[in-house]
Amino acid sequence: MKRLEIVIMRSSDALDAAIDTWHKIEGGKGVTPRLSFGSIRDLFSAITEKRLELLRYVAERQDTLNIRQLAQALGRDYKNVHTDVGELEELGLIERSEAGLLTVPYDEIVIHAGLTQAA
């Protein structure tokens, strides 16, 4: 199962996390891909409910839909779906083949939002 971790962390902790990841890679250890946000607000701004619905729909139908078909299937405006796909592509959450077909590279997204600094 390909998993992506989404982490909410302070910018002051981001450098330490990057260094830790670097050391793991240098040591030959595998690392789970990670996407970091500075706040829950930033996360929910980037991955809205509609975008999450879109991701789930594409994940269930890998390599069978283009943006127009996706918009029709979800009953949404083409322009809005196109914008959402572009934003999700920038985050690495969705990919487009040369033929324009959409895929989701992960089977699972796990969100970590610590409540204390030690988290």
What does the DSSP assignment read for 4-68? EEEEE--HHHHHHHHHHHHHHHHTT-----EEEESSHHHHHHHS-HHHHHHHHHHHHTTTS--HH
pLDDT per residue as tens digits for the range 67-77: 999 999 999 99
Question: What burial class does residue 76 get, using C-beta atoms within 10 Å of its C-beta: 0-12 exposed, 13-18 middle, 19+ buried?
Answer: middle
Quick one: pLDDT at residue 75?
96
Is there a contact between 4 and 32 (Cβ–Cβ < 8 Å)? yes
- Please, which residues have CB within 8 angstroms of residue 106's CB and are 6 or more apart in sequence? 2, 3, 4, 33, 59, 93
Quick one: pLDDT at residue 93?
95
Question: What backbone torsions phi and psi does residue 62 show, to the nearest 5 degrees?
Answer: -50, 130
Band of pLDDT at residue 35, cut at 50, 70 and 90 = confident
Domain assignments of the chain as residue spans, ordered by start: 3-113
Whole-model pTM: value is 0.79
Band of pLDDT at residue 114, cut at 50, 70 and 90 = confident
What class is the 3-113 domain? mainly alpha
Band of pLDDT at residue 80, cut at 50, 70 and 90 = very high
